[in-house]
Amino acid sequence: MLIFFYKSKTNMKRKMMRKTNLWSMLLCLLTTTVVAQNSGSTVVHTFHKKTIVTDPSKGENSYKTWGVFPKASAAVRRMTLQLTLGSPDEMPTAHWDYCDVISIRRKGGVHGEDKRIEIARMLTPYGSIFGKGWQWMWEVDVTDFQHLLRDSVEIEYLHTGYEPNTVGWALTMDVAVQFGPSIAPLLGMQPLWNGKFKYGDSTAPFAAAVMPVRYTAPAQTSFSRVRIQHTGHGADKPRNCSEFCSRWRQILHDGKLADKRDMWKECSDNALYPQGGTWIYDRAYWCPGDLQRPDVIDMPAKSGAHQVDLQMEPYTATGNVQAYEHIGSYLFYYGQPTHQHDVLLEDIVAPSNKQAFTRYNPAINNASIIVRNVGSQPLKSLTIVYGTVGVAQKTYQWKGLLPFNQTVMIALPGAVDMLAKDNQFTVMLSQPNGKADAWPADNSLTTTYKAPITLPNVFVLKYKTNNRPADNYIALHNAAGEKQFEKRPTSTVANTEYNDTISLAAGYHRLQLTDTSGNGLQFWAQPQQGDGFLRLYDTTGRLLYVFESDCGAGEALSFYASPQYKPDTVNIQAAFSMFPRRTKDNIQLDIELSTAAKVAVKITVDGILHQLHEYRSMRNGKFTYSLLSLPQGRFVVDVYVNDVRKFTGRVNRD
């Protein structure tokens, strides 16, 4: 068993001063000196718009690059992996939801030891409807590996899958580094369970492959941490395990339950939507288009012998066993947290322009933040100062109970102020438990955010139900949270169009469409639920705004209602309805524009044009296109308005 021990200069000084009464004061002075020399932040660049494709002959394709990380002597507070996938310039975007692994391969130069330590896991989106210029960024904390991410490090992105290598992704990957005192001193680490383990195979039981691990914690250990990436794959009988079956997993430490959870994830509320495949289907602890957050489980542990065990819900498949559990896990030993009273502001969820928080924004009230307690004492109170730059700041006194290394999302009361189209919002934390924060450098953040669009204060809401109107609810609230309008499921019937004229006082409002079944008003793989839409018009019938029908759990629109609204005569608003998206013969495409324009409809597969339909001038139209001359498979329908792509939809010809 290989165990890494982190012998920093700080730990060596601790040992030398262990028997003196002055050791803690001297250590504090030393830490302060080190931090002062390494304050601030930096970004380490690795891949930049690297085109990645699959290797169908092997099912995986390895991409490696070297990054220059901070020196070993630098005091690192946090490291965050930032991963961006985009559409390549030279080929269409990849289609499938594959499981990709980001690993540390070597450090210290080309002759360094091949480590292959998984630090992150990416589940790629269904990208067939993403066109040129599209990209999306995800983030995940990788601080537990910061002792390895030093000096020259070789990083590997392992892209899996079997689709043709004529489609791909543009990969960009950076690591954001915050310097400062460690949250807790790392004393060592070791691998736990790493690999793809059969699940439900009576001839190769999971429990026999994933055995308990005994370990010896070094001196000064305060707690052990299990960091685990875990996804389920394959689909067998009788439960479609592991991709589409819910099952529990538990972690035992020294025979006692440390963690138990259901290995299941809701996907219909994914921030990245719509996608070109079955993105709304819940899965075995992952969703397409998601940089998976690892499970981090802290367990009290003193120096000496211990045991950690991973157990899964018993399951036996019938027939051909396809299920497997893909696990990457490591055990870390940490000393006592560095400070007693220490919080950090993890992120501002709303208001924010971050892609990860699209479903929360633009926000008109109740700004939301994520706070992490990194002090050894449970966090019970906190002072939060917040507000839009240029407006008087607000103060909120939070109270609760937050253990070490846990997070909480806090809603900050009041309206979100808007001064211009582009705004800045600041948050500052202070006085954790009424004490001075030990490291205030990570207590504040500033986000940029766009103000909501402007609409007339009197408009028409047009809602066409699909075949399951009982799933859908529409509600409109003002910035004070007061309900202004609602459309309840009990007041609607299937496949019916409703028109409501709404008159509002000037101010900010939020219109929310909720789908309780998580399949939106239309979903290509479920043509039986029909085709619905939600659109806004002015009182003259001019199109103002269109909700996405393929929205999973729903969609929201924040806007400013203005009696002085002036119509936008420059930008064309466009609405499209294509149904069915799974067919043997024909599809119908409905097009509605706010102004007459040139329109082109292109039907392609992997960038190859199969049909082109052009219209010199159109404002409204209903068109039926035959697919009988096309082979079976997946097609993409693009609609261009005045040479600008306004709509992309997937069609499956069965």
Q: Where are the domains of the chain?
A: 1-37, 41-179, 184-334, 345-447, 452-567, 574-654
Q: What pLDDT is stored for residue 8 in this prediction?
A: 39
Which residues make beta-bridge pairs with 557? 511
pLDDT for residue 29 is more than 90 = no
Pairing status of strand 407-415 against strand 365-373: antiparallel
Q: What is the Cα–Cα distance from 369 to 346, expressed in whole angstroms?
A: 8
- What digits encode the pLDDT tens for the residues 342-356? 999 999 999 999 999
List phi, psi (to 5°) of 499.
-125, 120
Q: Give the closest residue to 476 by CA, choosing from 394, 569, 364.
A: 364
**452-567: CATH class:** mainly beta
Which residues make beta-bridge pairs with 231? 326
Two domains, one topology: 452-567 and 574-654 = yes
Average pLDDT over residues 479-495: 96
Residue partners of 311: CB distance under 8 A and separation at least 6 = 207, 249, 250, 251, 252
pLDDT for residue 109 is more than 90 = no
CA distances from 426 to 342, 352, 353, 557 (A): 19, 11, 13, 23
pLDDT for residue 13 is more than 90 = no
CA distances from 252 to 180, 230, 387 (A): 33, 16, 44
Q: How many Cβ atoms from other residues are within 10 Å of residue 636's Cβ?
A: 23
Which residues make beta-bridge pairs with 260? 250
pLDDT for residue 626 is more than 80 = yes
Average pLDDT over residues 125-148: 96
Q: What pLDDT is stored for residue 260 in this prediction?
A: 98
**CATH, domain range 184-334:** 2.60.120.230
Q: What is the Cα–Cα distance from 124 to 96, expressed in whole angstroms?
A: 7
Could you say which architecture CATH assigns to the domain 345-447? Sandwich (2.60)
Q: What pLDDT is stored for residue 107 in this prediction?
A: 87
pLDDT for residue 422 is more than 80 = yes
- At 25, is the pLDDT very low, low, confident or very high (cuts 50, 70, 90)? very low
Q: What is the Cα–Cα distance from 649 to 647, expressed in whole angstroms?
A: 7
Q: Which one-letter DSSP state was computed for residue 360?
A: G
Which range, of 172-186, 387-401, 536-550, 627-641, averages the lowest pLDDT?
627-641
Q: What is the Cα–Cα distance from 546 to 571, expressed in whole angstroms?
A: 14
Which range, of 102-116, 175-189, 516-530, averages the lowest pLDDT?
102-116
Q: What is the Cα–Cα distance from 209 to 215, expressed in whole angstroms?
A: 18
**CATH, domain range 574-654:** 2.60.40.1930
CB 220 within 8 A of CB 321: no
Q: Give the closest residue to 167 by CA, choosing from 98, 99, 92, 88.
A: 92
**CATH, domain range 41-179:** 2.60.120.230
The CA-based dihedral angle spanning residues 484, 488, 491, 494, taken in that order and rounded to the nearest 10 degrees:
130
- What digits encode the pLDDT tens for the residues 42-68? 999 999 999 999 999 999 999 999 999
- What digits encode the pLDDT tens for the residues 206-260? 999 999 999 999 999 999 999 999 999 998 989 999 999 999 999 999 999 999 9
Strand ranges (E), 29-142: 41-45, 50-52, 60-68, 76-86, 99-107, 117-123, 135-141
Q: What pLDDT is stored for residue 634 in this prediction?
A: 86
Q: Which residue type sits at 220?
A: Q
- What digits encode the pLDDT tens for the residues 426-444? 999 999 999 999 999 999 9
Looking at the whole model, is its pTM more than 0.85?
yes
pLDDT for residue 340 is more than 90 = yes
Q: Which one-letter DSSP state was computed for residue 466?
A: -
Residue partners of 463: CB distance under 8 A and separation at least 6 = 474, 487, 492, 497, 498, 500, 532, 533, 534
Q: What pLDDT is stored for residue 55 in this prediction?
A: 97
CB 390 within 8 A of CB 451: no
Average pLDDT over residues 86-112: 92
Three-class DSSP category at 343 = strand
The per-residue DSSP string of 3-22 comes to -EE---HHHHHHHHTTTSTT
Q: Which residue type sits at 507?
A: G
Which residues make beta-bridge pairs with 172? 84
Q: Give the closest residue to 219 by CA, choosing from 2, 9, 14, 1.
A: 14
- What digits encode the pLDDT tens for the residues 539-572? 999 999 999 999 999 999 999 999 999 998 888 9
Average pLDDT over residues 585-589: 93
List phi, psi (to 5°) of 95.
-100, -40
List phi, psi (to 5°) of 474.
-120, 130
Q: Give the closest residue to 343 by CA, choosing from 313, 370, 314.
A: 370
- What digits encode the pLDDT tens for the residues 254-280? 999 999 999 999 999 999 999 999 999
Measured N-to-C along each axis, helices 9-16 and 23-37 cross at an angle, to the nearest 10 degrees, of 160
Residue with tokens 């001075």: 436
Indicate the average pLDDT of the chain: 92
Tokens of 152: 């020259």
CB 313 within 8 A of CB 413: no
pLDDT for residue 39 is more than 70 = no
Return the exposure string of 420-436: e unless at least 16 CB atoms fall within 10 Å of the residue's CB, then b: eeebebebbbbebbeee
